[in-house]
Structure formats: C-alpha cells, structure tokens
Amino acid sequence: MEGLGPARWCKHLVGPHCFSVLRLKKLAALQLTASCSVAISTRFASRLCSSYIADVPRLSFIPIAEPRFVDEPIPTSADWLHEPKLDGFRLQIHAKGPRSRLYSREGHDFTDRYPSIAAAAARLVVTTAVIDGELVACDVNDQPDFYALLLNKPHQGLCVWCFDLLEVDGRDLKREPLWARKQALAEILPGRTLRYLEHFDDGLALLADAERRNMEGIVSKRRNARYLAGARCGWRKTKTAAWREANKDRHKYFER
C-alpha cells in the first residue's frame, strides 16, 4: 500500500465508509471557513452601513403634537409653562441648507408656497433641524392677521413663531424635556423671519394680556414633557372670550 495517498490508503484499508467520512469532514471544514467569512463580512458591512447612515442627515415629517381645547382652570404650579397661542397655520420646518422643506400640520409639502420661510430655514447655522412653529401674517401693529394669511396678502410679510425643536444636527430631541428643547431652539434662531416664541410662568396673567390684545389665547405645557404626537402630548389650549366671539363664523371659510 506504499505510495497511496491518505484518502486512497483509507479506502483500500477499510472500504468506502472511511472515504465518505473524510469527504464529509472536508466539506464541513469548507463550510466552517465560508461561514466565518460571511460572519466577518456581515459585521464589517454592518459597521460600514451604520457609519454611513450616521453621517447622512435623514429627515422626514414627524406627526405633530396637538393641543386640546379645555374649559378648565389654567395650571398654576411650577411644573407648567405657558406660551401665547398665535392665530396662524401650523408649520414644521426641516432645515437642511438648500434642501430645506416646509410641511403643513398634515405633512403636505408647503415649501414652494412660502419661499421666504424656506430661504430663512436654509440660512440657519445647523447641519439639520426639525422645528415646530406657527406661520403668521402680521398687520401694521405687528398683531397676527389670520385672514391676511388665509388670502396670502400679508401686510408686513410672513414669519414663523417657533416653539419646539424636535431634531438638531442628527440628534433626536423628542425624548428630552420641553425646557431643554426650547433652550436649544433659542440658540439656533436668528430673529426676524424665524422667531423664538417666549414662554411664561404665570398663565393667568398671560391669558389676561391675550384678552386685552384680542389674541387667540394661550397654550399650557408641562416643562419636563417629551414631544408626543396628537393629544397624547398633554398640551392644553385656552382661548380668549374676545377671540371666540370675533371668530365664531370662521368655519364658513373652510366650507367653500
């Protein structure tokens, strides 16, 4: 049996069974090598893909938080903050340089409808940002004029009063407390076209001031709340008596 290779020697000695065993072992070794290569390649591809995704801004419309009208006492504890309720259109701004987009409350693309706002978003000194705000047309006294906005005939141009920051530079802020999101928002807004909406501790005083100015009302929010879509956000809307009387027939504009 001299000169026989290992496989032929084994086959000659004990028959085809041993030869089959050797073939199976060889196939198993090849499969193990292939499996290791696939696992290594998969891990490498996963790391490469994760790195690529992290470096590319990916913005998409975020379902908005919806304040609900309540006929209840305004919260007075320190857990709450209060903002003016401005009479306009809800707008979600996706700032991304020249690719900035504007979305309505339902997620419709309004970028071409309000080019001056899109241009202001493009000038923000951020890589990316998603901002929640209210698009407003102001009259000669700098008061919101809803009908000028509705007819697209603003007296003093358009602006957005921005009150929340959902994402910035690739960071998701929706789980951060409201006060922290507003603080971050104030740091990135330039001023005239995209304006920061201040908040107040005394909701009763703010509502009384809104009443004197014939404004819509106020929105009360928990300071530490995260951003949640729909009524789950817990935002409370209180409207002034003067505004409700003046706008009791507004629904007719939307029935045509």
Catalytic residue list = 85
DSSP run (H or E) holding 8: helix 6-14
Q: Which of 208, 207, 162, 210 is nearest to 186 (CA)?
A: 162
On the 0-12 / 13-18 / 19+ scale of CB atoms within 10 A, 195 is middle
Straight-line distance from the first to the last Cα atom of the chain, in angstroms, rounded to the nearest whole number: 101
Whole-angstrom distance, CA of residue 20 vs CA of residue 207: 88
Whole-angstrom distance, CA of residue 173 vs CA of residue 255: 38
For residues 1 and 13, the answer to whether their CB atoms sit within 8 Å is yes
Q: Which of helix, strand or coil describes residue 255?
A: coil
Q: Which of helix, strand or coil describes residue 148?
A: helix
Cα 102 to Cα 110, 192, 250: the distances in Å are: 5, 18, 25
Whole-angstrom distance, CA of residue 56 vs CA of residue 172: 14
